[in-house]
Amino acid sequence: MSSRHSHPKSKSPSPTAAPSPDGAQRPPTSQGVSNNPETVPSPAAAEQPQDPADGPINTQIPFDEEDDADSGIEDEESLRSTSSLAESIFDYRNIHGRTFQNSKTTEYWGPNDDRQNTGLDIAHHFITMLKGDRLFEAPIDRALSKVLDVGTGTGIWAIDMADTYPAARVIGTDISPIQPVWVPPNCEFHIDDAQLEWTYAPASFDFVHIRALYGSVGDWGRLYAQAYKALRPGGWLEDLEFNITLHSDTPSVRDDPGHIFKRWSQIFFEATDRLGKTLRIGMGSTMRDLIAEAGFIDVVEKKYQVPSGGWSSDPRMKIIGRYNLAFLEESLEGFALFLLQEIMGWSYIQVNMFVMEMRNEIRNSKIRPYYILTNVYAQKPNTAE
């Protein structure tokens, strides 16, 4: 599904081309960094018919009915900052062998250890595939000189962006110093909390990229407003966020209010609400509306249905699903541990049993599980001050 807020005095740029480092137009597919040999086109975001009682319906992920006869469990193939930083920021807390950033300015639920970071890099790969082997979807039609990646995580998007646009200065920010030291010369990482007042000069970036900050931001309207201020007139913002509720069109799952997919999202909604954050940012039109309220024009929202596992009959979606399942396998425990144990007061055994139940269902290809990613991009008016 895509939708757009249009400014009456603005003409939307063509979405069919992306800029090369020298500002020339080129096809969006040349922007990508995927090493996947598949040539099947990336699935387009489609309309999301939704009954309020039943949730979304799968309209994007092809599958063969005959495949229901198999075991339903994914095979093993499918499961599969810089040195100048001050020493004080390498201050981690440890919860049952998982490390979390001990930030003095914000509470973040995700671990920063190798296992979680592997999951983030896997997610980067399948998200790039979903976007047609592109690093972004915004129809940027001018040369990029300065790019900001907010909440850069492992830095993989910023590094790929710097490689793709060697004439651009790419800055990645995060509260945790987990980025590599050896990076392209035009890429740099700063330890910074995006929820605090941004210190970058107004109107200094051509593009601000945000991804997967769900559950970690207290005031999304303020975040988008700061991105607006940091962008040059005509600059672009793009944000992609996960929705944590998994879905299935199988009646036994869809019609069961006590299914693990529903209990999973409900308990984490409550946990992040207690933190004063939200995991609901990607639901409905929230992102689109807040970005428009911040002053952006030509706001475009796309919803992507992402399979868990290789159950799709479409070759590309099958690969995306397998990468997604690998991402979930690496991430479930890390996602649950801090929120359930430290915020909700669960025991470690309770957390592990809950994660095990969820893991069994995301592996179950017979129920064809999937969730929705929301991607929104928008432009700062050329006439803005």
Structure confidence at residue 94 (pLDDT): 46
Q: Is the pLDDT of residue 40 over 50?
A: no
pLDDT score for 114: 74
Mean pLDDT calculated for residue range 154-161: 95
- Confidence at residue 54, expressed as pLDDT on a 0 to 100 scale: 54
Lowest mean pLDDT among 61-70, 112-121, 123-132: 61-70
**What pLDDT, on a 0 to 100 scale, did the predictor assign at position 385?**
74
Beta pairing, strands 98-101 & 169-174: unpaired
The answer to which of 3-17, 112-126, 275-289, 350-364 has the lowest mean pLDDT is: 3-17
**Arithmetic mean of pLDDT, 258-278:** 96
Query: How far apart are the C-alpha atoms of 263 and 219, rounded to whole Å?
Result: 26
Q: What is the pLDDT of residue 65?
A: 73
Q: How confident is the model at residue 16 (pLDDT cuts 50, 70, 90)?
A: very low
Taking residues 245-259, what's their average pLDDT?
97
3-state DSSP of the chain: CEEEECCCCCCCCCCCCEECCCCCEECHHHHCCCCCCCCCCCCCCCCCCEECCCEECCCCCCCCHHHHHCCCECCCCCCCCCCCCCHHHCCEEEECCEEEECCCCCCCCCECCHHHHHHHHHHHHHHHHHCCCCCCCCCCCCCCCEEEEECCCCCHHHHHHHHHCCCCEEEEEECCCCCCCCCCCCEEEEECCCCCCCCCCCCCEEEEEEECCCCCCCCHHHHHHHHHHHEEEEEEEEEEEECCCCECCCHHHHCCCCCHHHHHHHHHHHHHHHCCCCCCCCCCCHHHHHHHHCCCEEEEEEEEEEECCCCCCCHHHHHHHHHHHHHHHHHHHHHHHHHHHHHCCCCHHHHHHHHHHHHHHHCEHHHCCEEEEEEEEEECCCCCC
Reported confidence tier of residue 108, pLDDT bands at 50, 70, 90 = low
Instruction: Tell me the domain boundaries of the chain.
Output: 2-6+43-80+83-379
Model confidence band, residue 125 (pLDDT cutoffs 50, 70, 90): very high
Token pair, residue 268, equals: 């984490």
pLDDT in tens, 184-210: 999 999 999 999 999 999 999 999 999
Mean pLDDT of 74-83: 41
pLDDT band at 74 (very low <50, low <70, confident <90, very high): low
Q: What is the CATH number of domain 2-6+43-80+83-379?
A: 3.40.50.150
pLDDT of residue 72: 55
| Mean predicted confidence (pLDDT) in 266-271 | 96
Say how far apart CA 370 and CA 196 lie, in whole Å: 34
175 or 90: which leads in pLDDT? 175
For residue 152, what pLDDT band results from cuts at 50, 70 and 90? very high
Query: What percentage of residues in the chain have a pLDDT greater than 70?
Result: 74
Residue 79's pLDDT band, with cuts at 50, 70 and 90, is very low
21 pLDDT above the threshold of 70: no
pLDDT band at 107; cut points 50, 70, 90: low
